[in-house]
């Protein structure tokens, strides 16, 4: 594409401006509000403030989410990033150890590795926005890493059979970052059921919303017992809804430091009714995703990641590439869609904007050469898909993106 920096001029026939907010979430439902009010009226917001054998909302959430995932254990945490940190610590990460992870992810993932004392080793990605399994094998062998923190970034699942076969051959401990794939599956197996542990987020823009929060799941009793102590259980581990047996805590309870990061009952109470509606909302997101995807696939200058048949995704956001675009044209495209009310993010900017940072701006990570990832990020655009918009709204939004991209392409000599 050309390096011209003049703004794109909208011709006659340009869609009307879209007037709704991309950051407005659906309201918390009345049953969740009622549950929150009940917690507030009780005054017992702390997860361990219970009477007798009473199950606190935090413990109930652990029990219900473990059942939803088909996992043996679940721990409710203060954030998804915190869950990532203690998953690594509980799995035995030592200070300075290499941890493999996708080069395309959000900053909390390398941040969690660094906070847990690890050294991120970044793996290239493909044009379909998943980890490059060949590069993963090469860097796993070269680094001697024991850990892979696999980020299902923006909801894209790699070929999980191939990836886990490689992990088994190399003896990698896989921890899944499922912040964007709660409710997703690969070949009928839920995201988060492949690795030693999985970490989920309940931050506002995730699939269930408590403002901030996280969930850690595992079938490994020792890992989960250690994570429970790390989370700050004060020896009250019997009060968890989906925790290991008491015997798992005997050898480690006095040797594991308290790094408090518990979820409180107020957030758990808000999440419980949302979890019950998660699968319904997954279908609502996917309806909206498919409307946008169908229109953008008609635009020859754009590439949309392939969604393989085994992948049951959650379309809570959409990504597309404008291959070969330069900075000036990318900024012009962003400005054109912005003027028409569509809030796109671009991962190719030199400096981080909102959540769109790249590995070059993570100065706590050793600089690494990632030419294929850099080429993908240079043309990568992203958009949230709020459930507050109707299917007709998304037809409007998709038309704005498509027309703006077509105008951009038509200006290339």
Beta strands across the sheet bearing 98-102: 73-77, 214-218, 197-201, 173-177, 147-151, 98-102, 119-123
Q: Which two tokens stand for residue 323?
A: 């291959």
Instruction: Name the residue with tokens 């392409």.
Output: 409
**Domain ranges across the chain:** 30-276, 278-410
Residue 263 CA to residue 265 CA, distance in Å, equals 7
408: Cβ contacts below 8 Å, ≥ 6 apart: 1, 8, 301, 322, 325, 329, 332, 333, 336
DSSP string, 252-267: TTTTS-----BPPHHH
Per-residue model confidence (pLDDT) at position 3:
39
CATH of domain 30-276: 3.40.640.10
CA neighbours closer than 13 Å in the CB half-sphere of residue 378: 14
Over residues 75-100, the mean pLDDT reads 98
For domain 278-410, give its CATH number from 3.30.450.20, 3.90.1150.10, 3.40.630.30, 3.40.50.1820. 3.90.1150.10
Q: What is the pLDDT of residues 166-204, one digit of tens each?
A: 999 999 999 999 999 999 999 999 999 999 999 999 999
Residue 75 CA to residue 60 CA, distance in Å, equals 11
CB-count exposure of residue 4 (10 Å: 0-12, 13-18, 19+): middle
Q: What is the pLDDT of residues 222-261, one digit of tens each?
A: 999 999 999 999 999 999 999 999 999 999 999 999 999 9
Q: Which two tokens stand for residue 26?
A: 């659906």
- For residue 411, name the pLDDT band (cuts at 50, 70, 90): low
Q: What is the pLDDT of residues 294-330, one digit of tens each?
A: 999 999 999 999 999 999 999 999 999 999 999 999 9
Report the relative pairing of strands 173-177 and 147-151 from DSSP bridges.
parallel
Q: What is the pLDDT of residues 256-278, one digit of tens each?
A: 999 999 999 999 999 999 999 99
Kind and range of the H or E element at 329?
Answer: helix 327-339
Residue 299 CA to residue 287 CA, distance in Å, equals 20
CB distance 72 to 66 below 8 Å: yes
CB-count exposure of residue 20 (10 Å: 0-12, 13-18, 19+): middle
CB distance 254 to 227 below 8 Å: no
């Amino acid at each position: 594409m050309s390096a011209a920096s003049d703004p794109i001029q909208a011709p006659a026939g340009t869609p009307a401006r879209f007037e709704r907010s991309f950051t407005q979430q659906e309201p918390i439902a009345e049953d969740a509000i009622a549950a929150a009010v009940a917690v507030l009226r009780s005054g017992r917001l702390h997860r361990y403030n219970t009477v007798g054998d009473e199950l606190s909302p935090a413990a109930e959430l652990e029990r219900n989410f473990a059942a939803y995932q088909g996992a043996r254990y679940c721990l409710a945490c203060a954030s998804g990033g915190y869950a990532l940190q203690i998953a690594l610590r509980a799995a035995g990460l030592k200070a300075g150890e290499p941890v493999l992870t996708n080069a395309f992810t959000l900053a909390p993932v390398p941040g969690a590795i660094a906070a847990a004392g690890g050294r991120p080793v970044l793996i290239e990605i493909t044009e379909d926005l998943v980890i490059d399994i060949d590069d993963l094998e090469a860097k796993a062998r070269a680094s001697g890493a024991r850990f892979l923190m696999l980020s299902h970034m923006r909801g894209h699942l790699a070929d999980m059979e191939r990836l886990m076969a490689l992990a088994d051959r190399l003896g990698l401990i896989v921890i899944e970052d499922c912040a964007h794939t709660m409710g997703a599956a690969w070949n009928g197996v839920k995201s988060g059921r492949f690795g030693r542990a999985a970490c989920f987020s309940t931050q506002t823009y995730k699939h269930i919303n408590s403002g901030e929060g996280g969930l850690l799941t595992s079938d490994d009793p020792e890992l989960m017992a250690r994570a429970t102590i790390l989370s700050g259980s004060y020896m009250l581990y019997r009060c968890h809804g989906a925790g290991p047996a008491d015997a798992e805590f005997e050898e480690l309870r006095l040797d594991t430091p308290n790094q408090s990061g518990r979820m409180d009952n107020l957030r758990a109470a808000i999440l419980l009714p949302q979890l019950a509606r998660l699968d319904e909302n997954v279908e609502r997101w996917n309806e909206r995703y498919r409307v946008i995807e169908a229109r953008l696939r008609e635009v020859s200058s754009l590439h949309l990641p392939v969604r393989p048949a085994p992948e049951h995704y959650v379309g809570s956001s959409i990504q597309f590439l404008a291959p070969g675009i330069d900075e000036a044209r990318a900024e012009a495209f962003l400005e054109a869609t912005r003027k028409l009310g569509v809030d796109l993010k671009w991962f190719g900017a030199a400096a981080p904007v909102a959540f769109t940072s790249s590995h070059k701006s993570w100065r706590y990570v050793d600089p690494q050469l990632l030419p294929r990832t850099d080429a993908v990020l240079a043309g990568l655009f992203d958009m949230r898909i709020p459930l507050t918009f109707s299917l007709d709204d998304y037809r409007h939004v998709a038309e704005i993106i498509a027309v703006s991209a077509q105008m951009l392409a038509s200006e290339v000599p």
